Amino acid sequence: MKRRNFLKSAVSAFPIALTQPFALAIDPSAASTEEQVVLATQDRFGKARSLGFSQIAFKTATADTGGNLFMIEHSNLKSGGPPLHFHLEQEEWFYVMEGQVLFQVGGKRVQLKAGDSVLAPRMVPHAFAAVGATPAKMLIAFSPAGKMEQFFIAAAKQTALLQDAAFFAKYDMKLVGPPLKA
C-alpha cells in the first residue's frame, strides 16, 4: 500500500475508532475519584503486613484504579524472597529505593541498587532476594491489578503458603522454582 493511501485510510478510520470502546478500557466509575495520600512506610489501609522476609504496605489499592494498578512497598527486605514464579495476567515492575536486590527475570540475573528498576513481563519467570549488609526497600507495581491484592492479604496471614503451587495458581500465577540464593 502506498503511503498516501495508508494515510487516507488511517485518517478516515479515526472518527469510527473514537466511537468504539477500547479493548482495555475499564469502567471509570469503578476507580476512586479522590486523591489517595499514603505516607512513607504507611499502608493504604493502616494494616501491618509481613511476608517473613519483608514488611509490605499497600500503596495503591486495586479499587483505587478500577483494577488497572496495584502497588506495594517492601521495606526491611532481608535475605530471602518469593520463589521463582510468573504471572498469567500481570506485568510486575520493581523499583529499588534502598539497599541492593538480586533479581532473576527469565534466564538473566541482575543485581540492582537504589534508583534502579526492572520489569518482569507477564508469563516470564522471576524472583528477587535482598543482598548486602543492610535491608532493602522497594516499590512493586502490578498492572493490571488482577488478584494480587487478595494474594498479599492471604500470604501475609499465612506465609507458609508462599511455597505452595496450588496457592499461587489460585491467584493466576505459576510457581516454577525455589527462591533465589544470594
- Written as nine digits, the cell of 56 is 509490605
Q: Give me the pLDDT at residue 95, please.
A: 98
In our burial notation (b when 16+ CB lie closer than 10 A, e otherwise), range 137-150 reads bbbbbbbbbbbbbe
**Any bridge partners for residue 47, and if so which?**
none
Q: What is the CATH number of the domain that holds 63?
A: 2.60.120.10
Q: Is residue 80 part of a domain?
A: yes
Per the CB < 8 A criterion, the answer to whether 175 and 84 are in contact is yes
Q: Is residue 96 part of a domain?
A: yes
Q: Is residue 13 part of a domain?
A: no
Q: Give me the pLDDT at residue 32, please.
A: 57
Domain total in the chain: 1
Using only C-alpha atoms, the chain has a radius of gyration, in whole angstroms, of: 19
Q: Is residue 93 part of a domain?
A: yes
**What 8-state DSSP symbol labels residue 22?**
P
Q: Give me the pLDDT at residue 36, please.
A: 80
**Any bridge partners for residue 113, and if so which?**
100
Q: Give me the pLDDT at residue 165, please.
A: 96
Structural domain containing residue 141: 42-179
Q: Is residue 148 part of a domain?
A: yes
Q: Is residue 113 part of a domain?
A: yes
Q: Is residue 143 part of a domain?
A: yes
**Any bridge partners for residue 20, and if so which?**
none
pLDDT < 70: residue spans in the chain: 1-33
Q: Give me the pLDDT at residue 117, please.
A: 98
- Contacts of residue 159, defined as CB under 8 A and 6 or more positions apart, other chains included, come to 50, 51, 52
- Written as nine digits, the cell of 101 is 536486590
Q: Is residue 154 part of a domain?
A: yes
Q: How far apart are CA 3 and CA 150, in angstroms?
A: 49
Read off the pTM.
0.81
